[in-house]
Each structure stands twice: as structure tokens, then as C-alpha cells.
């Protein structure tokens, strides 16, 4: 995978029913291939999914390195995901997709700067999943604009 010429999959794309994992996999593949570009493997969003599943990021990277395809990676992840109930996975997915930067944080400053550079008219975009999709030229439906941002 070459993330210097393409984007990773959306945060919304799933592996083993878990959001973010497909994107994390793409970043891991690019890291292994030496083509990660501006992306960061084991960023805070990756850490969130690894923590939820109980997966060590180095072990995951080693698995990606020897995997022949996404099915091999899903087979590796499946036992971790199966330790979670369907309700736990759904709750994690919902919460993860609604993740926002903390008010007044450096993360919020970065978020607002990026949103203003990518789509200054999209004040309705208040969560990371939507912002990353916008930044990577994916369609993001309009929502009611946030009052405070």
C-alpha cells in the first residue's frame, strides 16, 4: 500500500465488524512497505481500536507484514473481536464514529485548522470520522451546523 499516492480506507470501513480497523490495516501495510507518507501508524485513533480489542500494535504490524491479504488479517483479529459481545462492538463503533476533539485542546485547534483549510463552510463537521473523510475527498452528508463552532 502506498499512502503517498492514495488514501487509506475510511474510519467507517470495518474489519471483523470493528470500525477504524481497515484504515489502521492500510496504514500498517504502508508502514511495512515504506510508503506511509503523512500518515501515522499507531496514532491515537489506532490506539483506541487496539485498546478496545486488546491487540498489541507491534504484534498487529508483524501480522500485517506476513499476511497475504485482508482475509488473513481478519482471521488474526477475529479471536480478539469474538471476546466482545455484539452490543460492545456496536457501542464502540458508535462512540468511535462520534469522537470529537476536547474543547480548548491542541487537538481541537488542529481539528479546526484542518476543517477550515479543507472545507471552511462545513461547520456541521464536528467529529474526526467526518473530517478525515472530507480531507480524503469522500462525500460527507450535511448535518445541522454546530452552534458553537
Contact indicator for 113, 133 with CB cutoff of 8 Å: no
With contact defined as beta carbons under 8 Å apart, do 46 and 20 qualify?
yes
**Is residue 142 predicted with pLDDT exceeding 60?**
yes
- What pLDDT digit, counting tens, does each position of 90-108 carry? 999 999 999 999 999 999 9
**Contact indicator for 80, 60 with CB cutoff of 8 Å:** no
Residue 146 has pLDDT above 90, yes or no: no
Cβ neighbours of 108 (radius 10 Å):
14
Percent of the chain at pLDDT above 70? 97
pLDDT band with cut points at 50, 70 and 90 for residue 149: very low
- Residue 124 burial (C-beta neighbours within 10 Å; 0-12, 13-18, 19+): middle
53 Cβ contact partners less than 8 Å away, ≥ 6 residues apart: 18, 77, 80, 81, 83, 84
Q: What is the pLDDT of residue 108?
A: 95
pLDDT of residue 143: 83
**pLDDT of 38 above 60:** yes
Q: Where are the domains of the chain?
A: 14-97, 100-149
For the cut 70, the answer to whether the pLDDT of residue 1 exceeds it is yes
Q: What angle do CA 9, 15, 95 make, to 5 degrees?
A: 80
C-alpha to C-alpha distance for 24 and 69, rounded to whole angstroms? 14
At 131, the pLDDT band (50, 70, 90 cuts) reads: very high
* Residue 8 and residue 36 in contact, taking contact as beta carbons nearer than 8 Å: no
Q: What is the pLDDT of residue 138?
A: 95
Amino acid at each position: 500500500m502506498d499512502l503517498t499516492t492514495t488514501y487509506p480506507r475510511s474510519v467507517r470501513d470495518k474489519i471483523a465488524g470493528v470500525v477504524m480497523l481497515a484504515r489502521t490495516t492500510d496504514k500498517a501495510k504502508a508502514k511495512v512497505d515504506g510508503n506511509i507518507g503523512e500518515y501515522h501508524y499507531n496514532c491515537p485513533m489506532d490506539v483506541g481500536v487496539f485498546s478496545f480489542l486488546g491487540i498489541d500494535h507491534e504484534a498487529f504490524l508483524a501480522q500485517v507484514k506476513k499476511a497475504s491479504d485482508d482475509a488473513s488479517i481478519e482471521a488474526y483479529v477475529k479471536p480478539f473481536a469474538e471476546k466482545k459481545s455484539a452490543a460492545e462492538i456496536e457501542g464502540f463503533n458508535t462512540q468511535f464514529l462520534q469522537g470529537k476533539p476536547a474543547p480548548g485542546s491542541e487537538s481541537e485547534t488542529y481539528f479546526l485548522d484542518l476543517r477550515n483549510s479543507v472545507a471552511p463552510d462545513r461547520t456541521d463537521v464536528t467529529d474526526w470520522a467526518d473530517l478525515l473523510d472530507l480531507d480524503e475527498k469522500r462525500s460527507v452528508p450535511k448535518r445541522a451546523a454546530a452552534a458553537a463552532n
